[in-house]
């Protein structure tokens, strides 16, 4: 249940307790090990209270996914693709680090494949999906480009986390930008119907 600030204080405290407890459990165990019963025990509420606000546990997970997606989209709202792909990728890493272990588990654990893919799809629709240049490509080339961007960005982040973040944050951002932007720029140069756009994309950090 998303709060709008007009709820009774008791309702706000209850929802806060449910969300906080849920995030703590995500950090401790795989999603399929989380139960409503244990969540309620930890949050010190009864199951009837939980079901007053959520039909199933998946609704709570979807709510968390929605919050994170919206927060990230707000951070990159003013960036353009493909011209500022480097800045978007940078924000991805910064946001991921700021959200901590909860975000790491959702992004890296196999238990969250469905919700992770939904988050990625929402972000891609809100960025690349609004790019007129992308719409000028045939749908098969669109699929190839978007598939590369999605898998490359997330996989580099996941490898970095799995390896214990041995590479400093700023360095992994630089490395991932170099790899990601080089690939996309090569595609843009070859497929861009407007030469000026190709030049723009190369002037905004994706070199």
Task: Give the span between the Cα atoms of 56 and 47, in whole angstroms.
Answer: 11
Report the pLDDT value the prediction gives residue 6, as an integer from 0 to 100. 57
Report the pLDDT value the prediction gives residue 37, as an integer from 0 to 100. 96
- CB distance 93 to 72 below 8 Å: no
Task: Give the span between the Cα atoms of 63 and 194, in whole angstroms.
Answer: 40
Task: Give the predicted TM-score (pTM) of the model.
Answer: 0.81
What SS3 class is residue 1?
Answer: coil
List of domains in the chain: 9-55 (1.10.10), 79-203 (no CATH)
End-to-end CA distance of the chain: 44
Report the pLDDT value the prediction gives residue 198, as an integer from 0 to 100. 52
Task: Give the span between the Cα atoms of 76 and 88, in whole angstroms.
Answer: 6
Task: Give the span between the Cα atoms of 189 and 149, in whole angstroms.
Answer: 16
Report the pLDDT value the prediction gives residue 45, as an integer from 0 to 100. 95
- CB distance 30 to 109 below 8 Å: yes
Sites in the chain below the pLDDT cut of 70: 1-7, 192-207
- Mention every residue, 6+ apart, whose C-beta is less than 8 A from residue 148: 183, 184, 187
What SS3 class is residue 138?
Answer: coil
- CB distance 181 to 205 below 8 Å: yes
Handedness of CA 199, 200, 205, 206 (dihedral sign): negative
Residue the block writes with tokens 């700021």? 98
Report the pLDDT value the prediction gives residue 159, as an integer from 0 to 100. 95
């Amino acid at each position: 249940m998303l709060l709008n600030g007009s709820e009774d204080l008791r309702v706000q405290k209850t929802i806060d307790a449910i969300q906080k407890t849920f995030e703590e459990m995500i950090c401790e165990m795989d999603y399929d090990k989380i139960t409503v019963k244990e969540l309620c025990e930890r949050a010190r509420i009864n199951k009837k209270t939980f079901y007053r606000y959520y039909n199933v546990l998946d609704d709570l997970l979807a709510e968390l996914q929605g919050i994170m997606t919206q927060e990230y989209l707000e951070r990159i709202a003013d960036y353009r693709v493909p011209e500022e792909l480097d800045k978007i990728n940078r924000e991805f890493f910064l946001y991921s680090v700021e959200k901590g272990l909860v975000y790491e588990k959702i992004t890296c654990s196999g238990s969250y494949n469905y919700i992770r893919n939904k988050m990625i799809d929402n972000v891609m629709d809100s960025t690349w999906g609004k790019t007129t240049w992308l719409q000028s490509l045939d749908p098969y080339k669109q699929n190839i480009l978007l598939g590369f961007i999605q898998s490359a960005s997330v996989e580099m982040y996941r490898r970095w986390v799995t390896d214990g973040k041995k590479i400093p944050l700023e360095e992994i951002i630089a490395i991932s930008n170099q790899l990601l932007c080089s690939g996309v720029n090569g595609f843009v140069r070859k497929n861009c119907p407007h030469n000026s756009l190709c030049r723009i994309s190369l002037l905004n950090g994706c070199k």
